[in-house]
Structure 1
């Protein structure tokens, strides 16, 4: 029997208490952007390594991290979650600056799934993202309902997170997003209905929606063809942003 192991991260570590992993592109070619990958509720960074590897092959510095209450970070998810995303974006841009030349050295994208999709949308403007991919993005109402009904296993400071959800609505964030946005959703998703992405696509000025017939909440995350679609979307968007400078 032949066992094939996936490419390991280029480096792992901790930043502001957050466990992270980074995948670097081929060192013989200059990188042309960075993407910070945000996992969903009750997930972890390792579940996004297939996307990270593909992004690195396309010339992006790909960085994933475990949110508080998840994976190797531990603790509990709390009101610092948006600051955590911003801190990892700053770190990713620092790594990128050492691997890229010219305008590409400051190009940043976000890719989030489910809860990570919500976080990508509500932090994009603050972190200066040049493009966003949101896969089956959760909404603030759905996350709030899930917390109150005890659907999640991760440790959480519920009052702090509910306050954050009250202050950062995903629909308002989409309406104010002025960079390219790719929404991807399986029509058979029972956790976050596809209508959520349809509403967001109607609000965001530069949105594109890809619907996968059937499927379920995790279908798109690990679909090789759709991973390729999202990576090509990000590379085109980041190159176009760099060309405008």
Structure 2
């Protein structure tokens, strides 16, 4: 876990029934809480980094038996300097299984867990993600259409006045499109801000999560949705308006 030899304090703590924790957050007051199993003294051996598939603390088998904690076969940790190939993982698992057979181990066979952080920081947009994005886009455009339609109906008198004083269809379309861009653009920015806030809170409280900015969905949300709203409003705005008031 740490890449270093165990210290005398860590070995002595394990022998005396304590725990060795790799992260300070697990033992803020010098003791490790084992859920409903009580608390036990712990010593800190800092790990260089955080890995979600590896343990945060260890105890001896005698301590686990004394606290009534059921144990199961674990795994072999392989520290690598590059992403292993499938053939290398298969070879490592073969060595582990052979060692377990030679030792006469019983129970479920242990498998190799590659102790490394993800090497690729890119995003893999799966089919489910694309489906959710399409549904969100449809809902966004539908809500935007309702908002723009209501705002345009309220502007009917103003558009009729513009038509009466000689404003052409192009000017009226520009006004309606600008209004749609303003409504949908502000809504997209506020929606993104409202989504980032709970995401940041979740990342801050959970140690197994890392912050990644999904640039492609953000760009699509902030730019594409307002652009579509402006384009559709400009195309659907009627070139001719009927005057709603007549002067006699």
- Using the size of structure 1 for normalisation, the TM-score is 0.24
Q: Which structure has more helix as a fraction of its residues?
A: 2
The one of the two structures with greater contact order (alpha-carbon pairs below 8 A, sep at least 6) is 1
- Using the size of structure 2 for normalisation, the TM-score is 0.23
Larger Rg computed on CA atoms: 2
